[in-house]
């Protein structure tokens, strides 16, 4: 059973905001936690890195010996702060429906995981990759209504304006290198070298489409659900990134490591709900994937999906705390607990 530690620990400032004090206060905090032998004699770089690694291993962070922003946030998470986080998380749970659906997909952004839940049991879990701090994954309720094998990717206007258009203006060959096609309003392909890109800054009268294939950013499976943010669950062509501890890396969509298991669960569940066993549709999807064919598979019995941002929860008799990657809990803490 977890117990509280009421000791007051040294606050470690951001290495970017207060670089002059950072190293000294970092060593003092690591000493207070028992990760380094002394705080009276200045530690060398190797000793400091080893101490940081000890802390990172204990907190299940990326073990690189570098006290970056995420590690510093965890160093500053005292038990008093944890109590506040528990209160904030409980309040978030209160905002869920009083009666959850019998089956649903649960995505917890700070935990970097997805659960498929039936009743009070988790059928299976998967690692996920969520949005970067600048392109956050939104909180939403929806329901998966379609699976798409070998999908195309149409980047949303925000990505076109911030990333693609500036890159094309520097070099129109950018589109070909990324596997993008440029289409006019009638769907005809346009040669990017024939366009006067100096006329466009934030918008352009063309659509950018990345064709389906193994190199597509969505991978080979997309899970569509209605929402105003143009996000969805999907596979990825960068599967190696699931090995990272910190996985806020996408443009806002949720990349699913065990996409195949999720897809076949949805198909099986949909088949059973509609008088069949789902097996024939699973066989069809496997064939389309093998042949690298783009197909839309409509799900009649839509599977609810909840995307949430909860930084602590109970697991196996303990309270697990996740990094407040987006700073949402910090914002709520300052708003409601600054004088408490």
In this structure, the answer to whether residues 220 and 188 fall within a common structural domain is: no
Residue 142 confidence (pLDDT)? 97
**The model's pTM:** 0.81
Task: Work out the pLDDT band at 132, boundaries 50, 70, 90.
Answer: very high
In this structure, the answer to whether residues 164 and 191 fall within a common structural domain is: yes
In this structure, the answer to whether residues 149 and 161 fall within a common structural domain is: no
* Residue 143, domain member (yes or no): yes
* Residue 250, domain member (yes or no): yes
* Residue 296, domain member (yes or no): yes
Helix (H, G, I), strand (E, B) or coil at 115: strand
- What's the CATH code of the domain at 224? 2.40.440.10
In this structure, the answer to whether residues 296 and 177 fall within a common structural domain is: no
CA distances, 166 to each of 16, 148, 153, 197, 291 (Å)? 28, 30, 19, 9, 36
Check residue 16 and report its DSSP letter.
T
285-294 long-range Cβ contacts below 8 angstroms, 24+ apart: 285/147, 285/149, 288/149, 288/150, 289/149, 289/150, 289/220, 289/221, 292/150, 292/212, 292/213, 292/214, 292/220, 293/149, 293/150, 294/148, 294/149, 294/150, 294/151, 294/152, 294/212
In this structure, the answer to whether residues 222 and 185 fall within a common structural domain is: no
In this structure, the answer to whether residues 125 and 261 fall within a common structural domain is: yes
In this structure, the answer to whether residues 301 and 177 fall within a common structural domain is: no
* Residue 55, domain member (yes or no): no
User: Using one digit for the tens of pLDDT, what is the confidence trace for 146-190?
Assistant: 999 999 988 888 888 888 999 999 999 999 988 899 999 888 999
Q: Are strands 318-321 and 207-210 parallel, antiparallel or unpaired?
A: unpaired
In this structure, the answer to whether residues 266 and 172 fall within a common structural domain is: no
In this structure, the answer to whether residues 173 and 187 fall within a common structural domain is: yes
In this structure, the answer to whether residues 162 and 224 fall within a common structural domain is: no
User: Using one digit for the tens of pLDDT, what is the confidence trace for 277-320?
Assistant: 667 889 999 999 999 999 999 999 999 999 999 999 988 888 88
Task: Work out the pLDDT band at 21, boundaries 50, 70, 90.
Answer: confident
* Residue 224, domain member (yes or no): yes
* Residue 218, domain member (yes or no): yes
In this structure, the answer to whether residues 175 and 289 fall within a common structural domain is: no
In this predicted structure, the answer to whether residue 232 has a pLDDT above a threshold of 90 is yes
In this structure, the answer to whether residues 163 and 289 fall within a common structural domain is: no
Please tell me the total count of domains within the chain.
2
Q: Which domain range does residue 126 map to?
A: 106-153+214-308
* Residue 129, domain member (yes or no): yes
- Find the mean pLDDT for residues 9-13: 86
Task: Work out the pLDDT band at 339, boundaries 50, 70, 90.
Answer: low
* Residue 192, domain member (yes or no): yes
- Find the mean pLDDT for residues 231-258: 94
Distance, in Å, from the CA atom of 265 to the CA atom of 19, rounded to the nearest integer, reads 50
């Amino acid at each position: 059973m977890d117990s509280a530690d009421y000791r007051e620990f040294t606050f470690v400032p951001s290495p970017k905001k207060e670089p002059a004090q950072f190293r000294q206060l970092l060593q003092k905090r690591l000493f207070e936690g028992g990760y380094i032998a002394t705080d009276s004699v200045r530690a060398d770089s190797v000793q400091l890195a080893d101490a940081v690694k000890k802390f990172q291993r204990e907190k299940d962070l990326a073990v690189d010996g570098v006290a970056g922003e995420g590690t510093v946030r965890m160093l500053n998470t005292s038990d008093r702060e944890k109590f506040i986080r528990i209160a904030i998380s409980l309040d978030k749970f209160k905002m869920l429906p009083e009666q959850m659906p019998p089956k649903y997909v649960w995505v917890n952004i700070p935990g970097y995981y997805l659960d498929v839940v039936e009743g009070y049991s988790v059928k299976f879990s998967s690692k996920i990759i969520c949005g970067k701090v600048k392109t956050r994954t939104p909180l939403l309720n929806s329901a998966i209504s379609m699976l798409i094998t070998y999908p195309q990717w149409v980047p949303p206007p925000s990505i076109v304006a911030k990333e693609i258009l500036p890159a094309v203006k520097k070099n129109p060959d950018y589109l070909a290198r990324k596997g993008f096609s440029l289409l006019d309003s009638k769907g005809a392909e346009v040669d990017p070298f024939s366009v006067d890109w100096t006329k466009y800054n934030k918008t352009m009268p063309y659509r950018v489409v990345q064709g389906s294939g193994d190199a597509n950013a969505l991978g080979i499976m997309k899970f569509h659900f209605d929402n105003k943010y143009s996000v969805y669950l999907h596979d990825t062509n960068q599967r190696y990134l699931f090995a990272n501890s910190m996985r806020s890396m996408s443009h806002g969509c949720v990349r699913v490591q065990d996409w195949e298991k999720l897809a076949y669960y949805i198909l099986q569940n949909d088949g059973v709900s509609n008088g069949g066993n789902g097996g024939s549709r699973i066989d069809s999807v496997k064939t389309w994937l093998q042949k690298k064919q783009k197909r839309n598979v409509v799900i009649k019995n839509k599977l609810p999906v909840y995307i949430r941002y909860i930084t602590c929860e109970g697991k196996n008799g303990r309270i697990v705390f996740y990094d407040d990657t987006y700073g949402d809990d910090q914002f709520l803490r300052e708003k409601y607990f600054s004088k408490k």
